[in-house]
Structure 1
Amino acid sequence: MKAPIFLLIAGLLVHPAGVMAEPRGGIAMHGAPGEDADFSHFPYAEPNAPKGGKVRFAEQGTFDSLNPFIVKGGAAEGVRQYVYETLMARAYDEPFSLYGLIAETIDTPPDRSWVEFTLNPKAKFSDGAPITVEDVIFSHAVLRDRGRPNHRSYYKKVTKVEKTGDRSVRFTFDGSGDREMPLIMALMPILPSHLLTPDTFEKTTLKPPVGSGPYIVAEVDPGKRITYKRDPDYWARDLPVNRGRFNFDEIRIDYFRDASSMFEGFKSGLVDLREELNPTLWAQGYDFPALRDGRVVKESLPIQTPAGMSALAFNTRRPQFADPRVRQALIRLFDYAWMDRTLYHDLFAYSQSYFVRSELSSHGRPADATERRLLAPFPDAVKPEIMDGAFSFRASDGTGQNRQGRVEALKLLEAAGYVLRDGTLVNAETGKPFTFEILARNRAQERLLLTYAAALKQVGIDARIRQVDAAQYERRKLTFDFDMIPNYWGASLSPGNEQSFRWGSKSAETEGSLNLPGVQSEAVDAMIEAILAAQTRDDFVSAVRALDRVLLSGDYVVPLFYLPDQWIAHWKRLKRPQSTPLYGYQIDTWWYDEDSKTGASAPTP
């Protein structure tokens, strides 16, 4: 590092501000990272896993671009994961810890007001060009100004970028107190500045991109198939974060028009692995010859992260959903118990929280002192029963009648200004019927939505279900052109900046954001700020629970269900490590072994 940036005092590097510099190979959001400086591989990866073989995955829909960093177009699956790399790599057996990849070390002061990275001198792109500080600075600028909305939002918090050495770069942040920013910058994808310009970056393209990742794009059949081949000259293959990973020589992803044909592709052996989300298929659809004779393995794998929120999102920008009493009524009309039993074989659990299945959930827990202090400036933001931990979404008796739900819903609708006239719910003043449209992407969604629409019809609400193709569905979702839409918001053990993109007031008017309901709440914004400013795990957990309480109190979605485990089916030629990390199975740690006799064994060293 250059002398003007650091002073050498008593043999120690000291920043001008007086904070000792401690560049390290890893960082955790809270506390210290779990791995020692000399760790050899992630515990959930098998370092002796054999390399080789071809694997085939499936996606539903289509694609028309190989640029995953812009809103325009639909990017092919895998480009972001296999072709491009970030400054540091995430460990999936820790809540939120990162270790060196393109960046050899990371340095940040206690207040995390800036972060500095030193690049690995071996880092290079697949065309052989070295990764430079200029590439890092270019990546930040182009993603900030022309990238997806989440990138623009995150990277605008950087107020200054400095090249501090031949291989080092520093980002200084605004005064927002966002302690996650050093990790957010560490996860920034690095783009080749020698091949891109701001203008070309913003265009869709089917030209194979150049990145620094373990794979290169070998073949593209637009809209139908993309094939990746392992780069034999991959620069980072021997780093600890990569040992035992990226074992397949070739990865092919085929696109299917609908879910049925995709499942048939798996059954016939055209697809090697399937993560099952459909309980009906899981319960009844896997009785086929390859599974019966052992060529296909069916597993339920543990996962220890929040299940996230699967729900029907109200678009509160639309007048019919502006009144929270209307939203509460439609939530009460959703018959959880009956739908789970008749549609899903009682295999699902009910979503009672945005962070269900984890310590971050507020469900069943009274607010602690830290939560109450955070929420004190917003006395009306949380319902008393949610503050006390006594609230649950009510399950009916499972008979399909849901009489109590209908009675409660009609009272709420009447209070909101609606009346029943000749079996139709209408606005008492205008006489306009209560009607809205629910978008569906596939038949599985349509089945659920038709059942829900039938329940709404019992109180005079006309809910029309419209199934659209994948491209139209995504376009309407990105532009908030819907009344109600199914969506899934995943969650990690360390939620942070993405919460602003999902629930922050500014994101409500930002096309492409995940704030589908249009949440605009000072309390939500304040809880997100508290999450980002938390310095201890205890304060962090309290802030997340407080956010959970505010979101639940806002009645922004009709919560649906979640899976208690990960359901995986795969052909026996695919093998996996014996241990599964907190975040569930990681396909990049699996390997191919045509002759192996067991379903999940590690190779002999």
Structure 2
Amino acid sequence: MTAFVPLARALRPSRRAAALATLVALAPAAHAQDTPRFTPEPSEAALAQGSDEVVVSHGYNFFDELSYPPDFEHFDYVNPDAPKGGEISLWAPGTFDSMNPYSRQGRAGRYSWMMYESLLGEMPASGAGLPADKIGESYGLLAWKVEWDPGKTWVIFHMRPEARFSDGTPVTAHDVVFSHNLLLEQGLPSYAQAVKLRVLTSEALDDHTVKFTFAEGISRRSLIDQVGGVPVWSQAWYEENDARLDEPRLDPAVGSGPYVLDDLDVNRSIVYRRNPDYWGWHLPINRGRHNFDRIRVEYFADENAAFEAFKAGVYTFRQEGNSRTWATGYDFRAVDRGLVKLEELPDGNPPTPNGIVFNLGREALRDKRVREAIALAYNFNWTNDSLQYGLFRQRHSFVQDTPLQAEGPPEGAELAFLESLEGVDIPEAVLTEPARRAHESSEDRLNDRRNLRRAMGLLDEAGWQVGDDGVRRNADGEALRLDFPISSSSSATLESVVETFAQNLELMGIDIRVERIDPSQYTSRSRERDYDLIFDSYRAFLQAGTGLMQMYGSREAEFSLFNPAGLASPLVDAVIEAALDTDSREEEAAALMALDRVLRHEFFMVPVWYNDSHWVAYWDQYDHPEELPPYALGPLDFWWYDAEGAEELRDAGALR
């Protein structure tokens, strides 16, 4: 592992000489003639802000820790000598009608975000500077140097002068400011509302220096990394094409990333081409990454058609999510001949918190007793054994199988954190009882009679009585009806899970309608929350950040696309706000454990199953590092093409 190097905190001239002396030796050689040599000494622009101290770094972490020093050569988990070339092809469900992934309108093409870069980067496979083996650390991409005051009231990014968009024009600080403002004016309302309250100004100090100023009296979390993660678009391109960020379009804005759009066939395929003129091949964060010459995405109406196409070699890499297919589908000849490789690879991320989500905007579903009754219709054990080949485990937590998962009653630092919350009522159960777990169910029969009796008792208690027609109605005579849309591109297994769940709801006297609709209609209805129940997901969390408010907070609950339940809880808000004010990793961990506890207490989702590994099938022409990083599978990021294996496949007549 690369030696730990703390962020350089440089003082004003009279105080910083001693601090600088131990750090100058760590400054790396320039990687390109246009990029200045990194030094920990503050720039004139930073000193002009009048701060007594300035923090100078080659990356950012809220806790002032970076695992990779300024002169690191590559991320530890990559193969720095990975060959370049070849094609990887994958599949996507349904349709697409846009190559603009930042609009609420239309269905964006798969991976259409990968053409854009940011100052500090975001996720693996996006051409970013965020490593897949660390949490909370990011490294300069468009920026080579970052400076801020200890109070994080401002930040200055120094950009790489050699950075270019794919049309050859330079990436400048003016483009960064333009992109930041474009997101505020035309981006998602939940994003714009949150950022406007936190980021006061953005200013291009010169062509390659950009400054952001932050509001006082708020958490310092997700300020520097927020603005550092904004995708940067060409102002000139937007103005010349009279384009908007909130409109669907097939002609994508030019980006600065390692891939460009090569070809597309609407609703059928997309091809991205590795840009040989990409400006950033010399960067250490890119060594051993972005190895394929072409990334091809094939679209299919449903999973069955997609799987048959994989067997025929129409596309060559498949991350399997269907337990039935994984258990029984891979018995075709190419697997037997060793032409298709199957692997179960470790996944260090907490599993995605997916499940049956309640629309809390529906009057009937605001009663937790009704939600608990509905949840009892889901029989995990029977479903897993009968429909999913026993391959899954039952999820209980939003951070399942991590040290942040709440277990028994709160104690120690977590209890102290909860008791420190002010101005909010905390239910006694949260403070004294074990964290909520998914209910137990019998594997012997779908309709677990014990759970159904308990569910019907809860519905009776909530005022939903069974009428002469067997349907439950309230005191006003209104039937308890639920709409549950699913996409026609969903797997047959998911359809079976939903249908058997619905059977149990019908036994309770609930009028449930499961609708199988086309992907575009499904997208529209999910965005408009035109459902009572939906199979959807939230995002797991391993660190505190203001993105938690977009997912779980009240302020944007009415319209946030990241909060399909419309959860609006003062208790959750209070926990998130306090988590944002923690000053150490230990305090942060206690706060996030408390967040897991209260989210489970609010009960806005029926937790279902999870898999703690990646199921991967691919035609044997790819390779990957022997030890994968914990937080990304990375097939588009750090896997590579095996030309010899590809030749053997062609010789065997397996692939074109």
1:545 and 1:246 map into 2 onto residues whose CA distance is 36
**2:79 alignment partner, one of 35, 46, 57:** 46
Other-structure match for 1:373: 417
C-alpha change, 1:18 and 1:252, in structure 2 (3 Å) is same
Which residue of 2 is the match for residue 586 of structure 1? 634
**SS of 2:130 mapped into structure 1:** strand
**Other-structure match for 1:253:** 297
Which one of the candidate residues 126, 129, 132 is aligned to 2:169? 129
Q: 2:462 aligns with which of 413, 416, 422?
A: 416
Counterparts of 1:14-93 in structure 2, within 5 Å, are: 14=47, 16-81=49-114, 83-88=115-120, 89-93=129-133
Which shifted more, 23-32 or 337-346? 23-32
2:31 counterpart residue number: none
Task: Quote the residue 2:516 is aligned against.
Answer: 467
In structure 2, the CA distance between the partners of 1:178 and 1:80, relative to structure 1 (3 Å rule), is same
Match of 1:595 in 2: 644
Would you say the 8 A contact 1:66–1:204 is kept in 2? yes
Q: Is 1:392 the counterpart of 2:437 in the alignment?
A: yes
Give the Cα separation in 1 of the matches to 2:235 and 2:264. Answer: 24
Normalising to structure 1: TM-score of the pair?
0.93
- Alignment of 1:187 onto 2:233: no
Per-residue CA distance 1:385-404 (angstroms, 9 max, x = gap): 67543542222231224222
CA offsets, 1:299-328, max 9 Å, x none? 111111211311111111111212111011
1:312 pairs with one of 338, 356, 368: 356
Q: Distance in 2 between matches of 1:206 and 1:562?
A: 35
Which aligned pairs between 1:105-504 and structure 2 lie closer than 5 A? 105-156=145-196, 157-175=198-216, 176-197=218-239, 200-364=244-408, 366-374=410-418, 376-377=421-422, 380-382=425-427, 384=429, 388-389=433-434, 391-400=436-445, 401-422=447-468, 424-441=470-487, 442=490, 443-504=492-553
Q: Is the 8 A contact 1:228 1:252 kept in 2?
A: yes
Amino acid at match of 1:314: F
Structure 2 residue matching 1:90: 3-state secondary structure = coil
- Comparing 233-242 with 27-36, which one deviates more in the overlay? 27-36
Give the Cα–Cα distance (whole angstroms) in 1 for the partners of residues 328 and 185 of structure 2: 49
**Separation in structure 1 between the aligned mates of residue 50 and residue 578 of structure 2, nearest angstrom:** 26
Q: What's the counterpart of residue 3 of structure 1?
A: none
Q: Deviations over 1:236-278 (max 9, x none)?
A: 1121111011111111111111111111111111111111111
CA contact (8 A) 2:435 2:597 kept: no
In structure 2, the residue matched to 1:505 is: 554
> What do the CA deviations read for 1:48-75 (whole angstroms, capped 9, x no partner)?
0000112211101111111111111111
After TM superposition, the score normalised by the length of structure 2 is: 0.86
CA distance in structure 2 between the aligned counterparts of 1:381 and 1:329, rounded to whole angstroms: 23
1:63-109 per-residue CA deviation (whole Å, 9 max, x = no partner) reads: 1111111111111111212x111111211100121011101112223
Alpha-carbon distance in 1 for matches of 2:158, 2:59: 12
Q: Return the alpha-carbon distance in structure 2 between the equivalents of residues 44 and 154 of structure 1.
A: 35
Query: Relative to 1, partners in 2 of residues 1:186 and 1:556: Cα closer, same or farther, differing over 3 Å?
Result: same
For 1:101, the aligned partner's letter is L
Contact 2:425/2:571, CA 8 A, preserved across alignment: no
Amino acid at match of 1:53: G
Query: Retained in 1: the 8 A contact 2:340–2:619?
Result: yes
Given that 1:112 and 1:179 are in contact with CA atoms closer than 8 Å, whether structure 2 keeps it comes out as no
Return the match for 1:532 from 580, 587, 590: 580
Counterpart position of 1:602:
none
Shift of 1:595: 1.2
Q: Contact 1:438 / 1:484 at 8 angstroms: preserved in 2?
A: yes
Residue by residue over 1:497-528, the C-alpha shift from the partner in whole angstroms, topping out at 9 and shown as x without a partner, is 22211111122212x52211111111111122
Residues 23 and 105, structure 1, Cα contact 8 Å, conserved in 2:
yes
Larger relative CO (CA 8 A, sep 6+): 1 or 2? 1
Structure 2: how far apart are the matches of 1:517 and 1:390?
A: 21
Shift of 1:531: 2.6
Maintained 8 Å contact 1:313/1:557:
yes
**How far 1:333 moved relative to its partner?**
2.5
Alpha-carbon distance between aligned partners in 2 of 1:335 and 1:377, rounded to the nearest angstrom: 39
Q: CA offsets per residue over residues 540-565 of structure 1, 9 Å max, x none? A: 11111212111111111111111121
Secondary structure of 1:424's partner?
coil
Contact 1:56 1:253 in 2 (8 A): yes
Unaligned runs of 5+ in 2: 1-10, 18-40, 121-128, 649-656
Question: Over aligned residue pairs, what C-alpha RMSD do you find?
Answer: 2.2
- AA aligned opposite 1:316: L
Whether the aligned pair in 2 keeps the contact of 1:500 and 1:528 (CA below 8 Å) is: yes
SS of the residue aligned with 2:298? Answer: strand
Point out the more displaced range, 277-286 or 435-444: 435-444
Q: Which residue of 1 aligns with 2:611?
A: 563
Deviation at 1:383, TM superposition (A): 5.9
CA contact (8 A) 2:237 2:253 kept: no
8 Å CA contact 1:446–1:465 kept in 2: the answer is no
Contact 1:575 1:591 in 2 (8 A): yes
**Which residue type is aligned with residue 342 of structure 2?**
K
Query: How big is each residue's C-alpha offset from its partner over 1:342-398, in whole Å with a ceiling of 9 and x where there is no partner?
Result: 111111111101111212221346343344433544775456267543542222231
Counting matched residue pairs gives: 592
Amino acid at match of 2:116: Y
Structure 1 counterpart SS, 2:133: coil
